[in-house]
Amino acid sequence: MEDSPPHPPCSDTTNKNPGSASSTAPVTNSKMTSLIRQPPLLFPATARHTATVIFIHGLGDTGHGWASAVENWRRRQRLDEVKFILPHAPHIPITCNWGMKMPGWYDIHTIDGNAESLRKNEDEAGILISQAYIHGLIQREIDAGIPAERIVVGGFSQGGAMSIFAGLTSKVKLAGIVALSSYLVLSLKFAELVPKPQVNQDTPIFMAHGDSDPVVNTQLGKKSYELLKEMGYKPTMKIYPDMGHSACLEELDDVEAFLRQRLPALGKEEKPEL
């Protein structure tokens, strides 16, 4: 996946292929009176469904932007038991987009490549609303019979940031977390927001970043990795040479390898234990 064509002033997407909108119950916060959520894009398991991956797109994108990556993994037939859920962010006012609405999981004040800009004036209310939504997606899979330890949450950029936050604050033990070109949100108070006991303290976290990222500075990604390690979590990090704010085939292959490791096929006779 190469860098995408130009986007709105502070979009962090790599692909754009918007879908149609449909509404659900409104959710309120300080910046809007309601959120209109489109149902997630679903890729059912091609074999018996024993595991689920929830993959969350970046600012200005939709779940459709990552459909080609899922289709590529599907062609390899190595994740046949995995259902993929690609949720769509609601359209919300984005400060660095002059207050105009675009798909986003939380508001962003500045995207200028500065390692500290994304940490200033963080939209805690928006982050917590998206956290609750992602936790709801996880719970739906559990209610449908998939054990939490057969569920991976991942994402790109803003979606990767939400994956780390929602994954580590989940009250159920997950199989893994994937965070591409992203960072730790609410880092200054993160420890206060993690429920006790910390059931995901040992959950593997695969972090990846391009060394030429002009949007989410590589140093912010590295700093987030170090902060997570200092707090006792289990992240690994890989830096890809000459990659900007996008994804490359090598990175997608590494994500696939991580998913295969964390969600191995159970076979026809084995059943996941609840």
> Which H/E stretch holds residue 40?
none
Dist. CA 56–CA 40, nearest whole Å: 10
- Residue-wise pLDDT tens for the chain (274 aa)? 333 323 344 556 553 332 322 333 333 344 444 688 999 999 999 999 999 999 999 999 999 999 999 999 988 889 999 999 999 999 999 998 889 999 999 999 877 666 576 667 899 999 999 999 999 999 999 999 999 999 999 999 999 999 999 999 999 999 999 999 999 999 989 999 999 999 999 999 999 999 999 999 999 999 999 999 999 999 999 999 999 999 999 999 999 999 999 999 997 655 555 5
Q: What is the pTM of this model?
A: 0.86
Q: Is 158 exposed, middle or buried (0-12, 13-18, 19+ CB in 10 A)?
A: buried
181, 182, 245, 246: which is the annotated catalytic residue?
Answer: 245
Provide the pLDDT for residue 273.
58
List, as one string, the DSSP characters of 75-93: HHTS-TTEEEEE--PPEEE
Provide the pLDDT for residue 13.
56
Contact predicate 222/198, CB 8 Å:
no
Q: Is 64 a catalytic residue?
A: no
11, 213, 224, 246: which is the annotated catalytic residue?
Answer: 213
Q: Is 3 a catalytic residue?
A: no
Provide the pLDDT for residue 267.
76
Dist. CA 170–CA 83, nearest whole Å: 20
Q: Is 68 a catalytic residue?
A: no
Torsion sign across C-alpha atoms 66, 171, 186, 263:
negative
57, 61, 130, 157: which is the annotated catalytic residue?
Answer: 157
Dist. CA 146–CA 151, nearest whole Å: 8
